[in-house]
Homo-oligomer: A and B are copies of this chain.
Amino acid sequence: MTKDKRSKREVILDAAYNLFIDKGYWDTKIIDIADSAGIGKGTVYEYFESKDAIFLELFKTKVAAGYEMLPEILSRENNCECKMKKYIETEMENTSSFTFSRNFLMDLMMKSDAFRNPALIESIHKLVADKFRIMFHIIEEGVNSGEFRKVDPLLATISVMGGVNFFVSINFMPFAPREFFTKENASAMSGVDFLDLIINGLKP
């Protein structure tokens, strides 16, 4: 009862996190979070200012935190292909290690402007933009150094990021044609093969 100060906050966050992932932000009600956390509805407001605030906290700790080390990690790599590999691995780890079932991140990205909390919107936009810039610089560097072909870096960034985002979230998308997404298929898809495609393209 006394050392539970930090713990209860965590419990709320965990409950909210799972519910957001499971039912989406709008379908998750405060009472659901409270019930799931085993506390009273009012208690939620002892720890968080609002539903938005819970979301923001979750975003920062569960999502954004996974990318904090990214620039440093990438800087340790010698060439752009390796950097891109690390990037993909990080994405895959983040989405899987945080038990990203469903489309949490994508959800955030796409619907971010449905929220009214400016801090939240800004956080989301910032993360996505940061990731975009990182990928852009990898490609730009690769093109400049001759490691990559003379492609338009912006175009390539879009292509690669779109692919990566889709790749890491496809399993959780509600509309993915289920006949393709069997257990075997899912486990067969690897980041290495994925990188290979981006680097080498489809042509034999």
User: A residues within 8 Å of B by Cβ?
Assistant: 23-24, 26-27, 103, 106-107, 109-114, 124-125, 128-129, 132-133, 136, 139, 142, 146-149, 151-152, 154-167, 170, 173-177, 180, 185, 188-189, 193-194, 196-204
List 5 tightest A-B contacts by C-beta distance, closest first: A162-B166, A201-B201, A129-B177, A159-B163, A128-B175
Cross-chain contact of A175 among B129, B151, B156, B163 (Cβ < 8 A):
B129
CA A31 to CA B197, docked complex, whole Å: 48
Copies of this chain: 4
With a cutoff of 8 Å between Cβ atoms, the chain B residues found around residue A148 in the complex are 202-204
Report A65 CB to chain B, min CB distance, Å: 18
CA A201 to CA B182, docked complex, whole Å: 28
CB-defined A-B contacts under 8 Å, sample of 24:
A24-B111, A107-B110, A110-B173, A124-B175, A125-B175, A128-B175, A133-B177, A139-B202, A147-B204, A148-B203, A148-B204, A149-B203, A154-B180, A154-B185, A154-B188, A155-B189, A155-B197, A158-B163, A158-B189, A159-B163, A161-B166, A163-B166, A197-B201, A201-B203
Cβ-defined contact, A125 with B174, below 8 A: yes
With most chain B CB atoms within 10 A of its CB, the pick from A24, A107, A136 is A24
Cβ-defined contact, A159 with B27, below 8 A: no
With most chain B CB atoms within 10 A of its CB, the pick from A129, A142, A175 is A175
Cβ-defined contact, A174 with B24, below 8 A: no
CA A155 to CA B152, docked complex, whole Å: 24
CA A24 to CA B194, docked complex, whole Å: 32
With a cutoff of 8 Å between Cβ atoms, the chain B residues found around residue A170 in the complex are 158, 162
Cβ-defined contact, B193 with A152, below 8 A: yes
Cβ-defined contact, B194 with A155, below 8 A: yes
Q: A163-B163, A193-B155, A198-B202 are in contact. Are A175 and B142 (CB under 8 A)?
A: no
Report A133 CB to chain B, min CB distance, Å: 6
Cβ-defined contact, A173 with B24, below 8 A: no
